[in-house]
Amino acid sequence: MGPKVKLALTPLSSLVVNRYFIPAHNLFPNTSIQNKPLLHYRHVFPRDTSSSKMESHLKAIRAVFPKSRWTMLPRTFFHATSHKVLCVSNGRARLLFGGDDNPGGVKVTAVKGDVLIVPAGVAQRMDKDLDAGFLMVIAFSRGYKDEKCYGVEGEEEKVRGIENVPWFKKDPIYGAEGPALEV
């Protein structure tokens, strides 16, 4: 194993972060249970950062574990047992959070180098791949499963469990400090 390559992340002092509190809608709890916002860190990673380097960075911070490289599903879903970190490694896409027809939902354009921190319970889906080839490194809270829920009856017990999903003790990208620790 070679020496670790330290990434030149956008400094916290100049990082642009959008915070979204999304109300419950239909059977999607969104941010209503833990009251932690969806966080969108803009242009965190340098544009030439590969998926492998993003995964290595996440592993070094040790707040989440990278599970896959994937796009986002076109069907609305959420996770009830884990918070999720999305590091955009290729392309750009419009993502919908909060559920279809939710007046408090948000559409976010995510581009290569962005990071989204999606709290447990927040509905999400691909709205449109703007470049054909959108790809993310997808990571989850350490020690928790990434089981999907779809906002249907029969998931109530899983939804109640969201209140017990611990928030991050370290910012998944910046470590000892960072926006995830300020919510």
DSSP characters for 81-104? S--EEEEEEESEEEEEES-TT-TT
User: What's the mean pLDDT in 23-46?
Assistant: 98
Q: Over 70: is that where the pLDDT of 58 sits?
A: yes
Residue 107 tokens read as 């559409």
pTM of model > 0.85? yes
pLDDT tens figures, 110-152: 999 999 999 999 999 999 999 999 999 999 987 777 789 999 9
What is the radius of gyration, based on Cα positions, of the chain?
15
Share of the chain above pLDDT 70, in %: 97
Going along the chain from its start, the domains and CATH numbers come out as: 16-152 (2.60.120)
172 pLDDT band, cuts 50/70/90, is very high
